[in-house]
A and B are shown apart, each in its own frame.
Chain A
Amino acid sequence: MSNPSTIRESRVSRTAVMALMFLLAIYFLLPIYFLIVAATKPQGELASTNGLAFSHFNLFDNLRVLFTRSDGVFGRWVFNTVIYAVLGAAVGTLISALCGYALAKFQFRGREFLFSVILGGVLVPTTALALPLFLLFSATGIVNTYLAVFLPSIVSPFGVYLARIFANAAVPQELIESARLDGAGEFRTFFSVAFKMMTPALVTIFLFQFVAIWNNFFLPMVMLQKESLFPITLGLYEWNGQTARAPLLQESVITGSLVSIVPVIIVFILLQRFWRTGLAAGSLR
């Protein structure tokens, strides 16, 4: 263990490993760095200056243009994204938690069957659902409304799966029993006892579902035509498609991309530990 050759070997491998990891870190950071640099430049300097070096600091002007373009439609997209992704994930987490808790803690006929059906849902590709949903929704007139994107987004079979695992692991049966003996109803037991104990797990479920909605581009693209209902992703996609004809949009696409990912990145980093719990649990199966 302590002979000199091992030490030399480990010094060499230490350096090699650090170098490799730095290269990978550069790879992961480069596009984001480029975005930050580009978002601070005036439109005219995007093509004419080095893409990795700062030039005129124009970020605030870019932001002003971004938020005032087309009657401030970008602000609307931010608001919509919050509705779809944040509110959607919150509602989704709550219903997943209720269902997962019931599957973990209640004994009832057909429980495993129900769980299997829900688990099967994990493997249904969500993009395969979008087109039939579109047809069903257009028959009911829901197409091109908030509900068209919001309603399908709250359903997360994976969330139920996680909630069941977490409820099993985090909520001791004795506590539930004693709450019942105290005469508490099942809902009161859930909200006053289980909910608190499951909170870290619920944050994880929330995060997963948030990402799923935030990433789901196909559904809003199929469902929405009204610009005022778009989430950020669809809006930026549309703008990006118009940059060939309206080059001034380019700077807004870049600034808009930055504005929309920075808060999410920060929240993700702050909530890192929840990710790891969730990912570890998710890989347990």
Chain B
Amino acid sequence: MSTTITRTRLAVVAAAASIALLAGCSSSDDSSDKTSAAPCEPAKGKVTLQYWNTVPGMDKVVDLWNKKNPNIQVETKNISNDQYGTLGNALKAGKAPDLSQVGYDELPNLRTQNAFVDASACKEATAAKSKFVPWTWSQASFGGTGVFAMPQDTGPMALFVRSDIFKKYDVAVPKTWDEYEAAAAKLHKADSSLTMTFFDPNNAEWFNGLLWQNKAEMYSYADNKWQVNVESDQSKQVAEYWQKLISDKLVRTDLANGSTQMYAAYQKDQIASYVGAAWGYSMFRDNLPKQAGKWSIVPMPTWGTDGASGDWGGSTVAFMKGSKHLYESVKFNTWLNSDPEALALENKLGGLYPAANAGLKLPALSQGVPYYNNEKIFDVFADSSNKIDTSFAWGPTQKTVNLALQDAMAKAAAGDGTLTDALAKAQATALKSMKDQAIPATAGK
């Protein structure tokens, strides 16, 4: 009995589906990108801007602005729960805010979705260029082709070390990655429960920072095509290096960055160093108060004699498509990210390490930090910030590539394949995902 019903049922469903198909045909999700800059006219009277972000305490910074600027009121919304999901939805529904926080690595991705408006018609926007650390402006302006966002904060990388452990085992603090590996072997030999650091396979952003440090320029644009070079000699060098540390069991792979388990391992003196970024200084201070005085921050180990550093994280505040108040948005955005008073407050409440030159001279960033033996740790980060490769660029499908990279790195950490294989996977995913989005791309030379 069931079989006859079944067949009719199938046919009926197919018929119904095709009716619905015809009904749905009229809709279209095309996007129309106007590459020319939007006009920059001040509004008459009072305007209210929407600004979405994930920074703790940002509402207080905005309060400060609102008090001073009765005619340009800003409303904030915290979207830290699912930053890009929320933003993506809003864009799809045409309800994006005037301004939104966007990470550097997501800028090209969102731009291919036509998410931004070019503010370069506003003089104040183009003039802001000199106010920011060069690489941040380069990324926010897409190599100087417009003003799509203002840099907010950065994550210049550095090495966090447990000086006491290094001293105890008489191991010198490493200056190069070769020394770092040798030191890792020494420490592990001296105490088998001690490892140099951990490799978090689910953290593509961190790994990208390491690649950046080795000038592994993964994406460029030439001959009317994206040149995809994820699997370059520079990135392979990084991958092989960490693969060796993993294979030799000199680093752990069972910890997630920022997790309770990670802090527990540090608390139990099981890990001697942390490859981190500027915004991480408060993580250790706040989560491991008992280890005050035991930590130092030194420059990243380098590749050979090249002193280059990398960046991990940081964000911009982007001008979103659909904003009706570009002039006012530029005014607020410039103030938010380059005014010393605003930057000081963001640093204090949100732990942001500013992308603006003025921010790097903040009093708070030139003093010694008690937790770190009163060392002037921000000098280390400032130095790191100056040594970051300025021509590094992100891909237009970075989110998808990061996910594939993480999956493959997790496999490698579980003994299935290597990190070099993971790079190959990321390269293939980058090309495929760009092809799917009809973005012209080719494997770079």
Contacts and interface: CB of A to CB of B under 8 A. Distances in A.
Interface of A: 113, 116-117, 119-121, 124, 135, 138-139, 141, 143-144, 225, 227, 238, 243-245, 247, 285
A244 B261 contact: yes
Contact of A117 (B5, B13, B82, B256): B13
B366 interface: no
Interface residues of B, number: 25
A138 B260 contact: no
A275 B261 CA distance: 44
B366 to A, nearest CB: 30
A117 B89 contact: no
Nearest to B14: A120
Interface in B12-59: 12-13, 16, 27, 29
27 contacts: A116-B5, A116-B9, A116-B12, A117-B16, A119-B5, A119-B9, A120-B9, A120-B10, A120-B12, A120-B13, A121-B13, A135-B29, A138-B92, A139-B29, A139-B93, A141-B93, A141-B95, A143-B89, A143-B92, A225-B79, A225-B81, A225-B86, A225-B89, A243-B260, A244-B256, A244-B259, A285-B2
B223 to A, nearest CB: 34
Interface string B84-97: 01100100111100
A138 B87 CA distance: 12
B8 interface: yes
Contacts of B12: 113, 116-117, 120
| Closest 10 pairs between A and B when the two form their complex, measured CB to CB | A244-B259, A120-B13, A247-B260, A138-B92, A225-B86, A116-B12, A138-B93, A120-B9, A116-B9, A245-B258
A139 B27 contact: yes
Contacts of A285: 2
Contacts of B89: 138, 143-144, 225
Interface of B: 2, 5, 8-10, 12-13, 16, 27, 29, 79, 81-82, 85-86, 89, 92-95, 256, 258-261
Nearest to A244: B259
Given A139-B27, A143-B93, A244-B256, A116 B8 contact: yes
A240 B108 CA distance: 31
A113 B81 CA distance: 46
Given A117-B16, A139-B29, A244-B258, A225 B93 contact: no
Contacts of A144: 89, 93
Interface class of chain B by DSSP: helix
Contact of A244 (B82, B86, B260): B260
Contacts of B16: 117, 120
A50 B299 CA distance: 44
Contacts of A245: 258-260
A135 B13 CA distance: 21
A285 B259 CA distance: 51
Contacts of A117: 12-13, 16
B37 to A, nearest CB: 28
Given A121-B13, A238-B81, A245-B260, 4 more contacts: A120-B10, A144-B93, A225-B86, A245-B258
A124 B376 CA distance: 62
Contacts of B8: 116
Contacts of A247: 260
Contacts of A119: 5, 9
A144 B94 CA distance: 13
A243 B81 CA distance: 13
A101 to B, nearest CB: 21
Nearest to A132: B24
A143 B82 CA distance: 15
Max chain B CB contacts within 10 Å: which of A113, A138, A243? Answer: A138
Nearest to B15: A117
Contacts of A124: 13
A135 B28 CA distance: 11
Nearest to A122: B9
A245 B27 CA distance: 43
A225 B5 contact: no
Max chain A CB contacts within 10 Å: which of B10, B12, B259? Answer: B12
Nearest to B78: A227
A103 B85 CA distance: 42
Contacts of A138: 89, 92-93
B77 to A, nearest CB: 10
B283 to A, nearest CB: 10
Contacts of B10: 120
Nearest to B91: A138
A251 B107 CA distance: 37
A282 B360 CA distance: 69
Nearest to B16: A117
Max chain A CB contacts within 10 Å: which of B10, B81, B258? Answer: B81
A77 B397 CA distance: 34
A225 B5 CA distance: 41
A113 B258 CA distance: 57
Contacts of A141: 93-95
Contacts of B5: 116, 119
A20 B259 CA distance: 41
A213 B121 CA distance: 51
A2 to B, nearest CB: 43
A119 B89 CA distance: 33
Max chain A CB contacts within 10 Å: which of B5, B79, B261? Answer: B5
A227 B81 contact: yes
A120 B16 CA distance: 10
A104 B92 CA distance: 43
